[in-house]
Chains A and B, each alone.
Chain A
Amino acid sequence: MTTTTAPAADAVAPRHHTPVRRPSLLRLSTVELRKLVDTRAGRWLLITIGLITAVIVTLQLVYADDAAQTFVNFFTPSLLPIGVLLPVLGILSITSEWSQRTALTTYALVPRRERVVVAKLIAVSLTALASVLASLAVAAVGTLLASALGGAGTWQIDGSLVLNAVIFQVTGVLMGAAFGLLLLNPPLAIVGYLLLPTLWGVLGEMVKPLRGPSEWLDTSKTMEPLFGGDALTGEQWGRIAVSLLVWMVLPLAAGLVRTLRREVS
């Protein structure tokens, strides 16, 4: 198209287009990634995640024993606080469309709503992956500084630990997104996401008959072995799968149905 200098009136003339293609999933995912960072709220959430990682490494450098200043020890502690914030990002990515009413625009441009939802899930999963990379990078800086300042500075890390970290962060952000899809309201989804598993954990401790099931259903318990340092047994993987089925897959499925059916106004 070379009509940039055409008079303005031409710009409103209806044009007959050559057959238009629907936007690819890659394109939609890129749009959703951009939406995560183009508002102040989203940008600050990501900056906070980065800052927390840096603060944790700094604290380690200052207070941890020299022998404990290893790559693994810089890497692992940063995962938990990020693991709390990432689901919030997942929740906001889904629910802000409704709270800010941009759903009206989004779903008018892409009426196949499930494609938007899938694009959002891809976008937040990529963000979770990037957060693990950021943890690794900051841990690397910490290790370099540690060896310069007389700490252990050991680089050794088990590949499975990185893989487990990815599983932990990606499933976390997807659980958040699932709660967002199901509840479609930011405060409700955030409170629900933070409160329900905790409540379940407390109940599991207090009520004896629930103790057995909670070994299989409480994600904070089933995910614990991921950072235990040992390879997980089949049963431990099974517990993770069952807890994720309940807290991630089911809300995702129910939330998708709700989002597809909901009236956009």
Chain B
Amino acid sequence: MITVENLTKRYGPHPAVDDVSFQCEPGTVTGFLGPNGAGKSTTMRMICGLTTPTAGRATVSGHPYQELPNPGREVGVLLDASAQHAGRTGREALTLSAYTMGLDRREVAAKLDLVGLNAVAAKRRVRAYSLGMRQRLGLAHALLGDPRVLILDEPANGLDPEGIFWMRGLLRDFADRGGTVLLSSHLLREVEAVADRLVVIGGGRIVAQGDKNELLSGGGTVVRARDGAALRRALDAANLTAADSSEGLLVQADAEAVGQAAADAGVALAELRPASGGGLEQLFLTLTAGESTKEAVR
């Protein structure tokens, strides 16, 4: 459980994060979306007590981060995979943290194994790691204390497609078992596949948040039938507005209403789906375009 209330951070007169509030519930993956420089990382650092907010507060599992007695056991944090001592081996980096948290040494081997860093990789110095390997090490580090909450800043950066697929499975599984995940990204596709909820931030302010499907359903429904004219009559009869699109008819209603209208008129459908495709992308672009332009001009 992560609760963020009215978090604000100002650097001089310029607000990097402006009155941000949201909640991440156990059992869900929350995608934290926004263009670069939107304030995602600053917000996450404030949640983790690494940056002092100008105003507002954040709690993890009901406590301010600084008051967690042994934070690593409660919340796994990966804010920057490159923030490791270049001269330490991967195994040593984990061993230091495991000892700080009071964990059994076997946890280090178990987590290295889990993220797919083999014995050879674990013995190499972090200097020689690729970005993908650093992300895996960072993820092993976040999971080390068997936390109930994960806070991950751009964890898919540098991972290959197979690695991204693997990580999605891992996070989905973690949430399905009751864990809380806050996951940031500036790439929509990454988050769309795994998140239950979305928080979209632009220019330091939250521009949209809510259930992923609800946010997406704003796009309407795409429907197609072999007998296009009959389908249009059926939709008209049900008082549903339909517009032609390259993929078929775009209806401003959910799939259930459209399907029912077609069934009532006895029209056989060839396709019926939410108008996704670029749905989230469209949402993301429209929601953040103005903000990020302002950002660039500033």
Contact = CB atoms under 8 A, between A and B. Distances in A.
Interface stretch (B79-87, B187-195, B248-256): B79-87
Interface string A18-44: 011111000110110011001111000
B286 interface: no
Contact of A38 (B82, B88, B147): B88
A107 B100 CA distance: 11
Contacts of B92: 38
Contact of A107 (B50, B84, B97, B174): B50
Contacts of B19: none
Given A14-B179, A105-B141, A110 B100 contact: yes
A108 B99 contact: no
A16 B143 contact: no
Contact of B83 (A4, A13, A14, A105): A105
Interface in A81-120: 96, 100-105, 107-112
A21 B45 contact: no
Contact of B113 (A8, A104, A110): A8
A15 B66 contact: no
A28 B66 CA distance: 17
A116 to B, nearest CB: 9
A103 B84 CA distance: 9
Contacts of B100: 23, 27-28, 31, 109-110
A101 B72 CA distance: 18
A208 interface: no
A23 B45 contact: no
* The 6 nearest A-B residue pairs measured at CB: A14-B179, A101-B83, A39-B87, A264-B50, A14-B148, A22-B69
Interface of B: 41, 45, 48-52, 65-66, 68-74, 77, 79-80, 82-88, 92-93, 96-97, 99-102, 104, 106, 110-111, 113-114, 141, 143, 146-149, 170, 173-174, 177-180
